[in-house]
Amino acid sequence: MALLETENLVKEFGGLVATDDVNLTVEEDERVSIIGPNGAGKSTLINLITRRLDPTSGDIRFKGESIVNRKPHEVVQMGVSKSFQTASIFSNLTVRENAEIAALAAEHGSFGFKFLEHRDSLTDVHEVARDTLDAVGLLSQADRKASELPYGDKRRLEIGIALAAEPDLLLMDEPTAGMSPEETEATVDLVEEVKQELGLTFVLIEHDMEIVFSISDRIVVLNRGRVIAEGTPDEIRGNPEVQEAYLGG
Residues that bind ligand ADP (CB under 6 A): 13, 16, 18, 36, 38-44
Most distant CA atoms of the chain, gap in Å: 60
User: Which does residue 40 bind out of Mg ion, ligand ADP, none, counting CB within 5 to 8 angstroms by kind?
Assistant: ligand ADP
Q: Which of these, 217, 207, 224, 245, lies nearest to 10 by C-alpha position?
A: 224
User: Which does residue 36 bind out of Mg ion, ligand ADP, none, counting CB within 5 to 8 angstroms by kind?
Assistant: ligand ADP
**221 and 236 Cβ atoms separated by less than 8 Å:** yes
Q: Minimal distance in Å, beta carbon 18 to ligand ADP?
A: 3
User: Which is nearer to Mg ion, 42 or 156 (by Cβ)?
Assistant: 42
Task: Candidates 25, 43, 56, 243: give the one binding Mg ion (CB under 5 A).
Answer: 43
The DSSP bridge partners found for residue 218 are 32
**136 and 157 Cβ atoms separated by less than 8 Å:** yes
Residue 113: other Cβ atoms inside 10 A: 10
Q: Minimal distance in Å, beta carbon 206 to ligand ADP?
A: 11
Helices (H), 79-180: 95-108, 120-135, 151-164
Distances (CA, A) of 230 to 11, 26, 95, 220: 20, 12, 39, 4
User: Which is nearer to ligand ADP, 31 or 42 (by Cβ)?
Assistant: 42
Contacts of 165 (CB under 8 A, 6+ apart): 76, 81, 102, 103, 105, 106
User: Which does residue 38 bind out of ligand ADP, Mg ion, none, counting CB within 5 to 8 angstroms by kind?
Assistant: ligand ADP
User: Which does residue 79 bind out of Mg ion, ligand ADP, none, counting CB within 5 to 8 angstroms by kind?
Assistant: none
User: Which does residue 44 bind out of Mg ion, ligand ADP, none, counting CB within 5 to 8 angstroms by kind?
Assistant: ligand ADP
Q: Minimal distance in Å, beta carbon 210 to ligand ADP?
A: 19
Size of the site for Mg ion (CB under 5 A): 2
User: Where does this chain bind Mg ion (CB under 5 A)?
Assistant: 42-43
